[in-house]
Amino acid sequence: MQISGIMNTARQGMTTETARFDRAARTVAGGASADGDLAAGMMDIISAEIGFRANAAVFETGADLWEVLATIKRD
Say if residue 13's pLDDT is above 80: yes
- Quote the pLDDT of residue 31: 74
- Quote the pLDDT of residue 39: 86
Report pTM. Answer: 0.84
How do residues 20-66 score in pLDDT, each as one tens digit? 999 999 988 887 566 668 888 899 999 999 999 999 999 999 999 99
- Quote the pLDDT of residue 18: 97
Cα–Cα–Cα angle for 37, 48, 41, rounded to 5 degrees: 10
- Quote the pLDDT of residue 23: 93
**From CA 54, how far away is CA 16, in angstroms rounded?**
12
Cα–Cα–Cα angle for 32, 49, 31, rounded to 5 degrees: 10
